[in-house]
Amino acid sequence: MAITAPFATPHLFSIIHRKKKEKLGIALLGLGGYAGGQLAPSLQQTEYCYLAGIVTGTPSKVPEWQEKYNIPDKNIYNYDNFDEIADNDSIDIVYVVTPNALHMPYTIRAAQAGKHVICEKPMEISSENCRKMIDACEKANRKLQIGYRLRYEPRHQKLMKWAREKTYGKVKVIDTDFSFYGVNGSNWRFTDASLSGGGPLMDIGIYSLEATRYATGREPISITAQKYKTIQDKLPGMEESIFWQMEFPDGMIANCGSSYVARRNYVWVSTENGRYGIEPAFSYGGLKGMVNGDSMNIETSRKQQAVQMDAFAQNILNDTEIIASGQHGLQDMIYIEAIYEAAGSGKKISF
């Protein structure tokens, strides 16, 4: 039955209007290194979403962003007037790109303002906060994606497929590490544990953790861990290096690490009938996939973040399931808490 104006509520009209959109508007919230260096350029390549607005606490950043990305005045917000975004139909998605411990408040405010949310990794600094974010999005009936760009990357997707289909036999042992060398600068990730929630594990080790889950296709049954600190006057309240081991069902083992004083960036999978992996594995580009000594022969031209954001926009437009879901973010946080607990106590944590 056709809906005629006298019987249709404004809300119904807004839903109909939203369904007709072909491209969704994204507002980036927190205009730091990742938003400026990766997300805004990626939004120049997206097909199903575009950079519509910004939310920033630093007014001096506004003119450059407006000029570079043609952002109208009506789509610019600060943290005080952010909730007014509820009245702005040209913003469909808020992308939260702040320090980790601010992901929860902004995700909840965005969902309550009726916006879908992409939240950067790690999802927050505790599983309790992750649960509150999921609840808020569910209550507001809004979708939530975590910024796990590699869940949409074709080489990483091969690891998922080969685990699922046992293409090279059963997975036996996974080696993975994401580290970089250099505790430099005053950035919150090196200086403020109340914002970061931890050291390299929270920041980059989370990629290795993620890889163990999709390269086995299973969830771990136990975790042991060790942490080290050699530079005592840096990284207050955070680890400098952390190593952890995970047992999965069916005799699969993962040996993992993350450090701010090492140069490692790989995931390697040994199976009954071979060995495959990616090295470098976790960078924004230049990934090299290998299988049994040969190249995976995968060419990519689009930025990882463009693929990730387009996938989310399509999830919204077609009401389909999110690959990098809030549940994945929460599950990773539960394992991160277990890794820290195991490293602190020296005990094996079983699930």
Cβ 100 to ligand NAD, closest distance in Å? 5
Cβ 36 to ligand NAD, closest distance in Å? 8
Using the minimum distance from each CB to ligand NAD, give the nearer residue, 143 or 149.
149
Cβ 116 to ligand NAD, closest distance in Å? 18
Q: Which residue is nearest to ligand NAD (CB)?
A: 32
Cβ 274 to ligand NAD, closest distance in Å? 29
Query: E strand or H helix at 96, and its extent?
Result: strand 93-96
Rounded to an integer, what distance in angstroms lies between the CA atom of residue 255 and that of residue 57? Answer: 41
Cβ 214 to ligand NAD, closest distance in Å? 16
Using the minimum distance from each CB to ligand NAD, give the nearer residue, 180 or 188.
188
Rounded to an integer, what distance in angstroms lies between the CA atom of residue 158 and that of residue 237? Answer: 37
Q: Annotated catalytic, 348?
A: no
Cβ 256 to ligand NAD, closest distance in Å? 18
Cβ 79 to ligand NAD, closest distance in Å? 7
Rounded to an integer, what distance in angstroms lies between the CA atom of residue 165 and that of residue 171? Answer: 11
Using the minimum distance from each CB to ligand NAD, give the nearer residue, 58 or 350.
58
> Pairing relation of β-strands 93-96 and 24-29?
parallel
Q: Which of 18, 6, 32, 25 is nearest to 195 (CA)?
A: 32
Rounded to an integer, what distance in angstroms lies between the CA atom of residue 127 and that of residue 123? Answer: 9
Using the minimum distance from each CB to ligand NAD, give the nearer residue, 177 or 291.
177
Using the minimum distance from each CB to ligand NAD, give the nearer residue, 29 or 137.
29
- The CA-based dihedral angle spanning residues 69, 89, 330, 97, taken in that order and rounded to the nearest 10 degrees: 20
Number of helical (H) and strand (E) elements in the chain, helices listed first: 13, 15
Q: Annotated catalytic, 106?
A: no
Using the minimum distance from each CB to ligand NAD, give the nearer residue, 32 or 217.
32
Instruction: Point out the catalytic residue in the list 115, 121, 143, 227.
Output: 121
Using the minimum distance from each CB to ligand NAD, give the nearer residue, 147 or 277.
147
Is 163 in contact with 216 (CB distance < 8 Å)? yes
Rounded to an integer, what distance in angstroms lies between the CA atom of residue 267 and that of residue 290? Answer: 10
Q: In 10 A of CB 232, how many CB atoms? A: 8
Q: Which residues bind ligand NAD (CB under 6 A)?
A: 30-35, 57-58, 97-100, 102, 120-121, 147, 149, 187-188, 203
Rounded to an integer, what distance in angstroms lies between the CA atom of residue 326 and that of residue 213? Answer: 15
- The CA-based dihedral angle spanning residues 274, 280, 282, 286, taken in that order and rounded to the nearest 10 degrees: -120
Helical H segments across 150-205, by residue range: 154-165, 188-191, 193-196, 200
Rounded to an integer, what distance in angstroms lies between the CA atom of residue 240 and that of residue 225? Answer: 14
Instruction: Point out the catalytic residue in the list 152, 207, 266, 335.
Output: 207
Residue numbers annotated as active site: 121, 207
